[in-house]
Amino acid sequence: MLLNKLKDVALSVAPVIAIVLVLQLILVIVPKGTPVEWDSFFRFLLGSAVLITGLTILLFGLELSINKVGEESGLALIKTRNLGIILTVAGLLGFFVAVAEPDLLILAMQINEFSQGLLNTYLIIISIAFGVGLMMILSFLRIIFKWKIRPIMFSLYGIIFILTIILEIRSGGNLFPIAFDSSASVTGAVAVPFILALGIGVSRADKNAKEEDSFGMVGITSAGTIIGVSVYLLAKSHLKFPKVTIANNNLDGVFKPFITELPTYLWQAALALVPFIVLYLIINATILKENKRDTISKLMGFLYVFIGLLLFLLSANVGYIGIARELGHNMAELGIIPVAITGFFIGALVILAESSVHVLTDQIYNVTSGSLKKIPVLIALSIGVGVSILIMVFRTYFDWLTLPMLILPLYAAALIMSFFTPNLFVGLSFDSGATSSGPMAATFILGFVQGVAVFFGGTTATLGDVFGAMASVTVVPIIAIQVLGIIYNLKLKKGAKQNA
């Protein structure tokens, strides 16, 4: 099993490695090109090996621990038939799985870096995790009381639009992109499998559950992140944020940074995961009541998750973010057209490296009994993410093209299109949008767009300029999947007529 996962992860990360190799070659050959520093390049290659190892161990551990805890907890909670217990545990699970998500930690650290400490890493994490916990409660209420997902999404995004418009006015555009980028922060390798498994567990407890009941939880919790962080950002909106620059890379050599930075990410991995383990032990003692063998098996799985999380954080921060920013900056030197084309292909290929996307497509295949295969979903997501990065590159180049002008109409279009999309694809589309912004997006895509933004922005680049890419990566795939849903429904109807 471990070898199969290693192969899958290696094949997923291969497109990212290929992109960097091709771009570095272009920058070497083109007369006006500036290649990235060779230390950074070789750190990236070493980081890729660490990343492949880390993600393999992480995914293996997730199957042994967090995924099982999610499905078994969802099933056991519903069986208690005690609404107070169900909602309390659901909220706590949402909070602590958000804290354990590496994407959130990476994003919060970057926000802290570019705000020069004015926005606190851990307060960002807590505010987002609180929002996820609330939305997990809402998700359980939706399933228990059979609420339709459309009114819920309309209500949530109505609140979000009001909060973000206020945030846009009060902060002058600095904080709006951060609020929407946060929607991508808890949809990575840890949170998505857990939330999907939790949804499956809840659905299994209800014999009358429909296909669409298995989807929507990730999309709802993703909306909760925006609400949670917006409240924190509103409290900070009076601050005057400095202009941003990408600091000179202070990493020395190829191997040494991995060794010197290890203690930092060891601590962060432990801080992220230990609270979730403690919560599992409490739930196990009170609700699950598993035997000693199953408990030990899950604890071993958590150990694998810890090791994988540590290696992932180390590789992402030491090997990936730096070179992504350099590539974005250096490709932008060649002009808007070359960097825009590059951005499209980076988005279209990097999505294939997202483990959470493959988890989702597997679930789609299983829930629909194979009628909706993985390839069409992956193609739709790939095009959607490619277009989203293309949009974000043009946004960094044209001063008049602001993020609200792009994101708010796109979300409005996604909400309106939900009325024309089959029920199965409503929750599925919002889940797909959320899962498109996993570990690779949080590191490589975000870093690339930040490098482009700083080049085109120069000395006038603001905090708002270097964020917003994840917001686009989240919303455009929603529309792509809804279009796929409409096409899928038309084919079903056509097939039914032919068989009649």
Mean pLDDT of 254-275: 87
Helix (H, G, I), strand (E, B) or coil at 147: coil
| Rounded alpha-carbon distances, angstroms, from residue 304 to 63, 91, 131, 280, 433 | 10, 25, 28, 16, 28
Q: What is the mean pLDDT of residues 377-405?
A: 87
Q: What is the mean pLDDT of residues 343-360?
A: 78
Domain that holds residue 376: 2-499
Q: How far apart are the first and last CA of the chain?
A: 44
Give how far the C-alpha of residue 109 lies from the chain's centroid of Cα atoms, to the nearest Å. Answer: 15
What is the predicted pLDDT for the residue at 250?
63
pLDDT for residue 430: 79
pLDDT for 232: 94
Contacts of 492 (CB under 8 A, 6+ apart): none
At 47 the pLDDT is: 92
Structure tokens at 437: 């912004």
Percent of the chain's residues with pLDDT above 90? 22
Q: How far is CA 320 from the centre of its chain?
A: 16
pLDDT at position 183 over 80 = no
CA 100-328-397 angle, to 5 degrees, is 110
Q: Find the angle CA(108)-CA(47)-CA(102) to the nearest 5 degrees.
A: 25
For helices 66-80 and 83-99, angle between their N-to-C axes, nearest 10 degrees: 160
Q: Could you tell me the pLDDT band of residue 49, with boundaries at 50, 70 and 90?
A: very high
- pLDDT at residue 369, rounded to an integer: 67
Distance CA 483, CA 485 (A): 5
Residue with tokens 């916990």: 133
- pLDDT tens-digit series, residues 63-100: 888 888 888 888 888 888 888 888 998 899 889 888 88
State the Cα angle at 359 between 229 and 278, rounded to 5°.
60
Question: Which of 14-28, 97-111, 138-152, 243-257 is modeled with the greatest confidence?
Answer: 14-28
Mean pLDDT (whole number) for 477-494: 83
Task: Tell me the pLDDT tens digit for each residue of 210-232.
Answer: 655 656 787 888 888 989 999 99
Token code pair at residue 45: 């290659």
**Exposed e or buried b per residue across 88-114, where buried means at least 16 C-beta atoms within 10 angstroms of its C-beta:** ebbbbbbbbbbbbbbbbbbbbbbbbbb
State residue 253's pLDDT score: 80
Question: Is the model's pLDDT at 207 over the cut of 70?
Answer: no
- Tell which residue, 129, 113, 245, 120, has the closest CA to residue 190: 129
Contact status, residue 232 vs residue 131, Cβ threshold 8 Å: no
Amino acid 169 reads I
The residue that leads in pLDDT, 122 or 59, is 122
The highest-confidence range among 144-148, 257-261, 472-476, 483-487, by mean pLDDT, is 257-261
Mean pLDDT of all residues in 10-39: 89
| Least confidently predicted of 82-96, 183-197, 332-346, 416-430 | 183-197
Domain count, the chain: 1
Q: How far apart are CA 358 and CA 354, in angstroms?
A: 7
